[in-house]
Amino acid sequence: MPAGHSTGRSSLSPRARRRAQRRTRLRRTILGSAALLAVSATGYAMVPGEDSAGVSGKPAAAARTPEAGESPADGSGAAAPQGGKAAPVPKRSSAAPPAQSPVAPKPSTAPTSAAPSTTAVPASGPGTFKPSAASGPPQGAGTALRWRIEVEENSGVDPDTAARAVEKILGDPRGWTKDPAYAFQLVGPGQQVDFTVKIATPTTTDRLCEVVTPELIGETNCRAGHTVVVNLKRWQEGSPQFNGPVDEYRALIVNHEVGHEIGRGHESCPGPGQPAPAMMQQIKGLQGCTANAWPYSASGTYLSGPSVP
């Protein structure tokens, strides 16, 4: 047979042919498995998981526990990325998820306060009054003027507490008892009095005081006959013209109106920078004086000013 020609038959023995076929099948299996592994790895890399950055290549955001009461944006429990579209959520196994440790609630940082809340002053009331049951000894060297306090019902002011506050004002060494001619005594219900102190809502005060001046409606106090009428608004809030605590302005109300009861008239500012007299209508302006609640200074000097005709 000429060289280079074949009859198409293999010169290998049957056993050799079977070995060659097994090697061929093994190579195909190895190549197919390698190709399958490469395809699987590529597909896994293209599906973003919970801790990955997705296809953008950006680092994943740190995990965050929602605050109490906060709802996830898409209802899935995962926050949406900044671009506005929610990242795809991979399918999860039907097996129960691993248990997570409970998140302890964060301690509250809201400030706490033991102070009572401020109650709005009622503009009007029923016009009926509840008297205080408190009483006390005479204060001062003169013949004591007997007085009682009454508080309009539903005003929020306790009559006995208010009575002790007024008693303290009238007995202060800077008050009218500094003059030995004057003295005062708080008496209880049913006893005869020389004058009464009434704490009334603004509307009731206007009625009792017959207030007609527009700028004073709902704002002022007065003495009507032998009744000292204290405006509830002024008692609770003070006055924008008075630079001092509410307790000091209450002293000014009492000293001014009781001053009228003992025969004192209005006075005006004695000069810029000097204390305003207690008998000055300080609610109308200080005229250059400084706010002052007391008839006398701590050293016993009467704080007077020019009389107002």
Q: What is the DSSP string of 230-260?
A: EEHHHHHH--TT--S-HHHHHHHHHHHHHHH
Tokens of 283: 């609610």
- The domain segmentation of the chain, as residue ranges, is 129-265
Identify the band that residue 97 occupies on the pLDDT scale cut at 50, 70 and 90: very low
Q: What would the pLDDT profile of 114-167 be if each residue is shown by its tens digit?
A: 333 356 899 999 999 999 999 999 999 999 999 999 999 999 999 999 999 999
Residue found by looking up tokens 């079977």 in the block: 18
Give how far Cα 251 sits from Cα of 115, 117, 162, 205, 284, Å.
24, 24, 12, 18, 17
pLDDT at 29: 64
Tokens found for residue 169: 């004002």
From its phi and psi, is residue 186 left (phi > 0), alpha (psi between -120 and 50) or beta?
beta
CB-CB neighbours of 87 under 10 Å: 21
Please state, in angstroms and rounded to a whole number, the distance separating the CA atoms of residues 56 and 64: 21
Helix (H) or strand (E) holding 16: helix 14-46
Q: Is 51 helix (H, G, I), strand (E, B) or coil?
A: coil
Condensed to tens digits (0 to 9), the pLDDT of residues 9-64 reads: 445 566 766 776 777 676 776 666 555 555 444 443 333 333 333 333 333 333 33
Q: Say what the pLDDT of residue 114 is.
A: 30
pLDDT in tens, 192-250: 999 999 999 999 999 999 999 998 899 999 999 999 999 999 999 998 888 889 999 99
For 129-265, give the CATH class: alpha beta
Contact 290, 277 (CB under 8 A): no
**Which residues make beta-bridge pairs with 307?**
267
Q: How many helices (H) and strands (E) does the chain have?
A: 5, 7
CB 128 within 8 A of CB 208: no
Distance CA 291, CA 289 (A): 7
Mean pLDDT of the chain: 76
| pLDDT-wise least confident of 102-106, 148-152, 261-265 | 102-106
- Between CA 188 and CA 300 the distance in angstroms is 31
pLDDT of residue 14: 67
Q: What are residue 200's DSSP bridge partners? A: 231
Burial (CB count within 10 angstroms: exposed 0-12, middle 13-18, buried 19+), residue 162:
buried
Q: Return the structure tokens found at 119.
A: 């109650």
Whether 74 shows a pLDDT value over 50: the answer reads no
Which H or E element spans position 185? strand 183-186
How much is the pTM?
0.62
